[in-house]
Amino acid sequence: METKKLVELAKTIRSKNAGTDKITFDIIFREKENYELVKKSNVLTRETICRLYGISEDRISDFVAFDPAYAIKFTIYRDKPSGSPGEGDIFGCQQYPPLLDLEIPLE
């Protein structure tokens, strides 16, 4: 089965702070067709996020597909508050790379 990586289909894949205790992720598509392909593939799910980030499902506070914007958004609770000792990404902007290589079937 032919696949493409999520990074090849999405216009934007990013992460950022959502307050001090959460990180939010945005996957935004330029074309409706790519958005629908990813959404219908059921590859990007709560379960996938848990596997990619090594977290339990109770760490995901939100998971939304927003059709008008061709976007998928999810938010996770941080292990430690932003800026606390030992926390390595104060802005939450370096958490998106595990999503880049996610393989999406083209059929």
- Which structural domain range is residue 75 located in? 3-101
| Three-class secondary structure of residue 35 per DSSP | helix
Q: Is a pLDDT exceeding 90 seen at residue 107?
A: no
On whether residue 106 sits in a domain, the answer given is: no
CA triplet 7, 15, 70: central angle to 5 degrees?
A: 55
Number of domains in the chain: 1
On whether residue 37 sits in a domain, the answer given is: yes
On whether residue 50 sits in a domain, the answer given is: yes
The helix or strand, by DSSP H or E, that contains position 27, with its residue range, turns out to be strand 22-28
On whether residue 40 sits in a domain, the answer given is: yes
On whether residue 94 sits in a domain, the answer given is: yes
What's the rounded Cα separation, in Å, for the pair 60 and 47?
10
- Identify the pLDDT of residue 87: 87
On whether residue 42 sits in a domain, the answer given is: yes
How far from the centroid of its chain's Cα atoms is residue 73's Cα?
6
On whether residue 57 sits in a domain, the answer given is: yes
Residue 86 banded pLDDT, cuts 50, 70, 90:
confident
- What CATH code is carried by the domain that includes residue 12? 3.30.70
Handedness of CA 98, 38, 74, 27 (dihedral sign): positive
On whether residue 82 sits in a domain, the answer given is: yes
Q: Is a pLDDT exceeding 90 seen at residue 70?
A: yes
